[in-house]
A and B are shown apart, each in its own frame.
Chain A
Amino acid sequence: MLQFVIRRIIWTIPVLLLVTFFTFALVRAIPGGPFDFAGDKSLPPAVVKNLEAKYHLNDPMWMQFCSYLIGDAICRPEGSEEGVSSKGVLLGDLGPSFRYRGRTVNDIISTALPISMQLGFLAMLLGIGIGIPAGIIAALKHNTPLDYSATFIAILGVSISNVVLGPFLIWVFALKLGWFPVATWKAEPLFSNIAQQYIAAGEPVPMWVNLIPKPTFDFFHHAVLPVVTLGTGLSAVLARLTRGSLLQVIREDYIRTARAKGLRERAVIVRHALKNSLIPVVTILGPMFAGVLTGTFVVEQIFAIPGLGRHFVTSVGNRDYPVVLGTTLLYAVAIVIANMLVDITYAWLDPRVRLE
């Protein structure tokens, strides 16, 4: 098992390196540069030239990539004092933003990522909390009206795009009924005194402080619509999967055996059937996590939530290379880690996988 885990961790290294390289090349291949426009006006060529020199965009490509990866100190021996320098991605420095003056990519991520993570976490919680129980109930009440209505709601749920559901929920619950606010995200850090200390000292607030929200009414009030938008699809997918898998397991011989030897129905379902039927559910949690990430793109756009997805979309348009690279890399790391955890969980649940 340990060997499997180690092999799995080592495999992520080339993946992340290649992601960095591809993104680096692709972003720079897009016609147009980060300094084409300032607002609506185009910049004079001399200014563009100075800016490009400041951010080392005139250096050879390999040197730019090298210094992005392992820092200016190693890859750019001379002239590293001039312009903006970076310690390199490997040391966790994602460089300066080209468009948000005076802010580093790390700053942007540390304020935007917690918001996206709160949104994604709540949506996954909703998806799992509704989807899996609904699937189990539908399977246990197979071919009853309860099953049919659950199945129908689930297929409806997977057929509604976030792009449709978001505006629809806004229209009904925010505009018509006025129960919820239309947009934005209201999260205050739970440890606001710690955040205050950092702000008073003039230092950036570390990410973990922003991550945990204070469970105020305002927070949940604003969160309901975006979380439901993102979570509905997830719960529908999970409900369908759980139901199908449980129905298949219930027909297995060992369930009949368990019943035949006189176990109570409860014990048969909980101990024997459920445990095995959740294996495929675990495997889909990896892709589902990726789905949540991409879902946040849409939901943040619709509800004007200043999360990472919104930053990514705007910075691609602005050719803000470091922000695009940084966020892409972050997504890649998140997906790689999620897949790795799923693989390891799967190997733990199903010993046959380890041997392959």
Chain B
Amino acid sequence: MAAATDTAPRVDFTTRKPRSPLRDAMNQLFKNKVAIAALVFIVLEIIIAIPPVTDLIAPFPYDRTSLYDNLAPPGAPYTGRAEEYQGKIFILGADYLGRDLLSRTLYGAQVSLAVGFVGATVSLIVGMLIGLISGYSRPAIDNLLMRLVDFLYALPLLVFIILMQVYFKAVARQQSSTVSGQFVLPDWFGWAVALIFGVAVVAGVMLARREDGGGIQYLFIFLAGAIVLSFALFIVLVMRTGRSFMASLVEIDNAFGGMFFLFIALGLLNWLGMARITRGQVLSVKKKEFVEAARAIGATDRRIISQHLLPNILGPAIVYETLAIPGYIFLEAFLSFIGLGINPPRPSWGNMISENYQGLRAAPWTVLVPSVALTLTVLAFNFLGDGLRDAFDPRLRGE
């Protein structure tokens, strides 16, 4: 009897590294050339959009006007007087105020990417939280939350986003007229934020890779914590100068060039689809045998949610959010187009198009450059999203 067990092939189930659905999908994704090309494009764009890198790459500051060079065609040399720009050329031309289009387009990437990622992150976190609670808790709570979602679904969301943007802009104008003197961030603030995020990423990755069942969710939780902590630090700093809470929010908004309130409007209203999807997934996953098995061996709710539900839900959630990013980018472009987005002179692709399209006849490149940037970025997100969807759902492969 003892001999039989010795000769039997030993399969050690306990030490084999668990393969998460996420890792499976990533392996699939790397076989999809178009999606990887899109991913590379997006990563390059993100690197370019990191503020110090943009400052380094962009040939001109985004608000540097040169009246000698207004509507300069692509490739025209700088003819202004300023010493430091002598010999530079406007690679993609200049707009009606002689501002370099290439530089402005590069800075515009900051806005579009920030809006896309913040919109996606907020909607991912809020939507998943609501969806999890709704799907996992008692029917009464589930009903309440889903009626709330139904109700918000029936609202004309864009109309409310416009109203909220008008509200925020008006409050910002009011506050900036009452508060005298500009608020300047201390030098160490950037380093402090970098430190907070560094610690969050390192800790998150370490926890996520832990052998005894970590999980990518820790990374998300830590990142969310880092975001909240950075904002708290900012608000404390501003309020110490004697400003009210609303005024410090306005200061944040100024620091973000008018993006912060856009984030709030986006975040408050765009988690609905995510919540519905998460709830649906929870309802279907929690009836699966492996969850039942986990419960049978006495796993707590917390463990079931973090170890069994979340990893299985995260896939569809990420796919959904990747495909939703173009929507956020479009929304920002539209709001900036009607003058309710980014505060000029900060460039966003939307306000670049709206500023320049009156001069479409004389200088079409002024509109074409931001248009191409916007379209390529959104195209990349769509290709990546399609690739991710195929990777997470093998049934759809090749469609």
Contacts and interface: CB of A to CB of B under 8 A. Distances in A.
Chain B interface extent, by class: 35 or more
B156 A331 contact: yes
Contacts, number: 130
B64 interface: no
A327 B375 CA distance: 31
Contacts of A61: none
B399 A247 contact: yes
By secondary structure, the A interface counts as helix
Contacts of A155: 379, 382-383, 386
B353 A164 contact: yes
B97 interface: no
Contact of A164 (B154, B163, B371, B395): B371
Given A29-B167, A31-B170, A316-B162, A332 B154 contact: yes
Interface stretch (B3-11, B40-48, B82-90, B332-340): B332-340
Contacts of A12: 154
A274 interface: no
Max chain A Cβ within 10 angstroms of own Cβ: one of B163, B333, B350: B163
Contact of B154 (A26, A316, A336): A336
Contacts of A18: 151
Interface stretch (B194-202, B214-222, B227-235, B357-365): B357-365
B192 interface: no
Nearest to A332: B156
Contacts of A244: 396, 399
Contacts of A168: 367-368, 371
Interface residues of A, number: 54
Given A158-B382, A328-B159, A332-B154, A32 B170 contact: yes
B338 A313 contact: yes
A175 B363 CA distance: 12
Nearest to A139: B399
Contacts of B330: 161-163
Contacts of A158: 326, 382
B138 to A, nearest CB: 18
A143 interface: yes
Given A12-B154, A164-B371, A159 B163 contact: no
Given A159-B326, A164-B375, A244-B396, A290 B151 contact: no
Nearest to B175: A31
B373 to A, nearest CB: 10
A159 B375 contact: yes
A335 B154 contact: yes
B153 interface: yes
B155 interface: yes
A234 interface: no
Contacts of B396: 244, 248
A18 B150 CA distance: 13
Nearest to A158: B382
Nearest to B330: A161
A161 B156 CA distance: 20
B179 to A, nearest CB: 14
Max chain B Cβ within 10 angstroms of own Cβ: one of A164, A167, A298, A336: A164
A297 B158 contact: yes
Given A26-B163, A161-B333, A339 B154 contact: yes
A335 B398 CA distance: 35
Interface in B130-175: 150-151, 153-160, 162-164, 166-167, 170-171, 173-174
A159 B158 contact: no
A23 interface: yes
A293 B156 contact: yes
A69 interface: no
Given A155-B382, A158-B326, A167 B371 contact: yes
Contacts of A29: 167
A267 interface: no
Given A170-B360, A328-B159, A26 B353 contact: no
A163 B382 contact: no
Interface in A41-100: none
A284 interface: no
A324 interface: yes
A241 to B, nearest CB: 12
A24 to B, nearest CB: 11
Contact of A313 (B151, B162, B171, B329): B162
A38 interface: no
B378 interface: yes
A108 interface: no
27 contacts: A12-B154, A15-B151, A15-B154, A26-B163, A26-B164, A26-B167, A30-B163, A30-B167, A31-B174, A32-B170, A155-B383, A158-B382, A163-B354, A164-B333, A164-B374, A164-B375, A167-B353, A167-B357, A170-B360, A247-B399, A248-B395, A290-B156, A290-B158, A313-B162, A328-B163, A332-B155, A335-B156
Interface of A: 11-12, 14-15, 18-19, 22-23, 26-27, 29-32, 142-143, 155-156, 158-164, 167-168, 170-171, 175, 243-244, 247-248, 290, 293-294, 297-298, 301-302, 312-313, 316-317, 324, 327-328, 331-332, 334-336, 339
Given A19-B154, A161-B333, 9 more contacts: A19-B156, A29-B167, A31-B174, A156-B379, A168-B371, A175-B364, A243-B399, A294-B158, A324-B163
Interface of B: 150-151, 153-160, 162-164, 166-167, 170-171, 173-174, 326, 329-330, 333-334, 337-338, 350, 353-354, 357, 360-361, 364, 367-368, 371, 374-375, 378-379, 382-383, 386, 395-396, 398-399
